[in-house]
Amino acid sequence: MQISNPVFRAVAIVAMNFLFYSKTIKSWFEKNVFNPYEIDGNKHADYALMQLKNIASHINIAGKSILEIGPGGNYYLACFLLQNGAKKVFVIDNENHSFFSNQEIAIYKKLYPESISNNRTINQDKIVVINYGRHETIPLSDESIDVIYSNAVFEHVYTPKMLLKECQRVLKVGGKMMHQIDYRDHIFSQESLFFLEIPDLFFDFFFKNTGMWVNRLRHSQWVALFDTLNNLETIKIDKQTSSLSLTKKQNQLTTEDIKTTSALFILKKYAD
């Protein structure tokens, strides 16, 4: 179920936060009360196809090993990447999201037959599924990946600098990273910046165990963070902006940080 009212939605997300430690109750809650990740399967596929077109417009994927960070429990994009010439796709997400239904397996098999093995599970020779914790290293060799991609993921990462350094480590020289980062509120309303005014202690206490929690870094902070990575050159930044207004507290931020709602970063790794 989805909830449109921002107050009721926030209450439901708080409830999910405190159900985090009981997977059985949390699963029942997501099925019968509220599931912020719920989306129609066809829309998932359409969205993945849009992502593929975006990637292909910037990066040649033919024959490449690709790492997708945070697929959100589906492998549609992985199938489309393989369908369009990728050599192998690695998908990494936390354990709570790494699942798939029999219906999804049937769709994956239709999109790319080799994505599913004979026992109706993901074919790890083509799509390698990696469960990733909050403070872990990526279990891949140094300089083993040609392309790294994420969409609306890094705003949810607790330790983005650590994960970016891991991306830098596994990326080949000459390889590219492409990250779309969404700066908007995921809890109350995407038309408001109220979520920035909540003190860190309360924001983390009520929301950190949900997929709606965000690290609340603004655009200038992300630009600075990417600049700290050695051997990586930012070759493109594409910003999306809105007309959101400022509040008294938010006046401490620059106009750019207030009005930039998301940004696409493309980086290329060069030799020492």
User: In terms of DSSP bridges, do strands 171-182 and 145-151 run parallel, antiparallel, or are they unpaired?
Assistant: parallel
For residue 96, the model assigns a pLDDT of 57
pLDDT of residue 3: 53
Q: What pLDDT, on the 0 to 100 scale, is given for residue 255?
A: 87
The CATH class given to the 39-183+218-269 domain equals alpha beta
Q: Is the pLDDT of residue 2 over 90?
A: no
pLDDT in tens, 200-213: 999 999 888 877 89
* pLDDT tens track for 143-193: 999 999 999 999 999 999 999 999 999 999 999 999 999 999 988 888 888
Contacts of 173 (CB under 8 A, 6+ apart): 143, 231, 269, 270, 271
Tell me what pLDDT residue 187 has. 87
Mean pLDDT of 220-249: 89
Name residue 236's amino acid. K
Higher pLDDT, 18 or 123: 123
Q: What is the mean pLDDT of residues 70-92?
A: 92
> Rounded to an integer, what distance in angstroms lies between the CA atom of residue 81 and that of residue 75?
10
- Using a 10 angstrom Cβ sphere, with 0-12 exposed, 13-18 middle and 19 or more buried, the burial of residue 97 is middle
The pLDDT of residue 260 is above 70 = yes
Q: pLDDT value at position 38?
A: 52
Mean pLDDT of 105-111: 85
Across the chain, mean pLDDT equals 85
- All structural domains of the chain with their residue ranges: 39-183+218-269
CB environment 160-193: b (16+ within 10 A), e (fewer): beebbebbbebbeeebbbbbbbbbbbbbbebeeb
Q: What is the mean pLDDT of residues 54-81?
A: 94
Which is more confident, 57 or 109?
A: 57
- Tell me: the pLDDT tens digits for 17-63? 666 555 565 555 555 555 555 555 567 788 999 999 999 999 999 99
The position carrying tokens 């960070």 is 69
Q: Return the pLDDT at 212.
A: 85
**What pLDDT is recorded for position 43?**
77
Query: For the whole model, what pTM was predicted?
Result: 0.87
Residue 190 has a pLDDT of 85
What is the model's pLDDT at position 1?
A: 47
